[in-house]
Chain A
């Protein structure tokens, strides 16, 4: 595979990751969200593998496999089981309506493009331009966490945000040293478990997974 072709494939994958971020923002159904999330993980792992292949960095294969198992199979499956056990596949409510969210999302993409523009000039890597996409994915994940009310959607937003970070690590820098990547993967796994425990705690204490219930701790007004 030539470097150019790899860069092109990576560009397409970056675009698909960006598209899936927007898909997460506009999708209403829970299972739909999980599917899009799994696809995003798949694109991410594919892009990691492509980068690993072209750069000859074999430790990236390990991250690709890690991403594949964790983000494409394990986490969506865990969340799927949770959704079924807790019976929350209803439509997702959103705080801000979807067209507005989309417009904000587009603004965020432009913002991250501007923010990373100076770095683009510096890098010699073929994958440098994907840094903006990575940052945009991070910001869109953040936006999703802000605009959605349900706990599960917030988590998917959080995990999408982590996807963006992974993408930044692999595409912008050809992968961080493996120690760091393993640590990050471990952390995400622990976080997912804690999320799981949390669901049940919230469920048992509030009898619902709607985060509107979690708005009691506020400053009281005089």
Chain B
């Protein structure tokens, strides 16, 4: 029931907003829809927490600790983003960057995007997982080009083509997976059901699954934004509207990583080796290094944080590749705190660029004087994302580092180098923006307080102490990923 509501609300809101998305109260409908979705997700999560995994809808849905946790994160961040976008988009509308049709389109596609991600998370069918990932791409493509500037159109084109090609590889992987499963389950949907696959994983053909994983890695890896498949990500994040950057970075990447994780579990089970993990570690480590050094040369604020997202996705992928309870726990926690911190950073960064009418970091100065919440929000967010205590990112990175030193000590310096460079780069760029006198052309705008404060508070709480239910929950998820 709560499952249907979880998916239904966003779909219905998407349909409704397709017609009334340009009205005055559209933003409130958007918030209301997302809040209802969030409530449903919490309800569902509690049920899973108390009664264990749920299979519903004629085997179509499958909810366990792993995906319901991501569903809650998705619903929560989409809700706060909806709150943030109310003021932000109104302002863009007043600036004349978006028209009526654009607003309608924005609201409808936002909800559709949430729907696609939730479907991807909750479905039991590997094929439907692929379809909803594709749907998530398609629903955001035209949002990235919402402003119709040449660079926005270019970014959307790149996003579309690269993710389209990438996701096509994932479909090939799905075909191969079905090919292997068909020999065990016979024809029909049974061969694509995650519940079936994970139970009889030992009887799947290892060679086929290894090959399939390569395609999954390339396919979903493109969406995760792993180097060298990351080219679309900085463009799409920097050129689209800020709320979209926030959800792309905070949610879509997580969902893609989730898809990859599901595949990894199957491949590990079938081959009995750690090959898939090694592939993921390599991709993760390269992503960390390349993005850390790319961070040094960024001039555009949203672009810089897009690279930071690549880095953190690299860290999470690396952690899951490393395997073992500690690293997996760290990886799951990292997905959560990154998603919260990064969307909050995008909120403040978007706000800062609205205040200065530019996304160039050289034009953004004196934020704390101009708008203390935005300034401190950006500064603290940056401290958090760079992995400083007492924030949650520190906890997750510390866990991953512990596991790394124990299991693969030789890689530790490389990992630390990446994190260190990223830290230096972020600080070097954010300090001048936050402190100092405000420039004259700075405008005073109101920022929605709730999203930034809520996200940062949560990250802080997670950093200071992990609530018991959360850690129990993660332990359940870790069990699933073994």
Contact = CB atoms under 8 A, between A and B. Distances in A.
Do chains A and B directly touch (beta carbons under 8 Å) in the complex? yes
A214 B172 contact: no
Interface in B120-172: 125, 127-128, 130-131, 134-135, 138, 141-142, 145, 148-151, 153-158, 160-161, 164-165, 168-169, 171-172
B468 interface: no
A161 B164 CA distance: 10
Interface string B455-478: 000000000000000000000000
B294 to A, nearest CB: 7
Nearest to B191: A177
Interface stretch (B27-35, B77-85, B175-183, B379-387): B175-183
A180 B131 contact: yes
A198 B160 contact: yes
A183 B235 CA distance: 28
Chain B CB within 10 Å, residue with most, of A123, A174, A214: A214
A122 to B, nearest CB: 6
A215 B157 CA distance: 11
B178 A176 contact: yes
B131 A201 contact: no
B188 A177 contact: yes
Nearest to B183: A122
Nearest to B150: A205
A154 B158 CA distance: 11
A181 B125 CA distance: 13
Interface residues of B, number: 50
B154 A217 contact: yes
A219 B297 contact: yes
A198 B159 CA distance: 12
**Main SS of chain A's interface residues?**
helix
A85 interface: no
Contacts of A202: 153, 157
B208 interface: yes
A206 interface: yes
A119 B211 contact: yes
Interface residues of A, number: 50
B407 interface: no
B192 interface: yes
A184 B168 CA distance: 10
Interface stretch (A3-11, A29-37, A164-172): A164-172
Contact of B179 (A119, A161, A220): A119
Interface of B: 125, 127-128, 130-131, 134-135, 138, 141-142, 145, 148-151, 153-158, 160-161, 164-165, 168-169, 171-172, 174-176, 178-179, 182-183, 187-189, 191-192, 205, 207-208, 211, 235, 239, 294, 297, 299
27 contacts: A118-B208, A119-B211, A122-B183, A122-B205, A122-B207, A122-B208, A123-B179, A161-B168, A165-B168, A165-B171, A169-B178, A176-B127, A177-B188, A177-B191, A179-B125, A180-B192, A183-B131, A190-B138, A191-B138, A197-B142, A198-B153, A201-B153, A204-B148, A213-B154, A216-B154, A219-B297, A222-B297
Given A122-B183, A214-B157, 8 more contacts: A118-B208, A131-B179, A145-B165, A158-B165, A169-B175, A176-B174, A216-B154, A217-B155
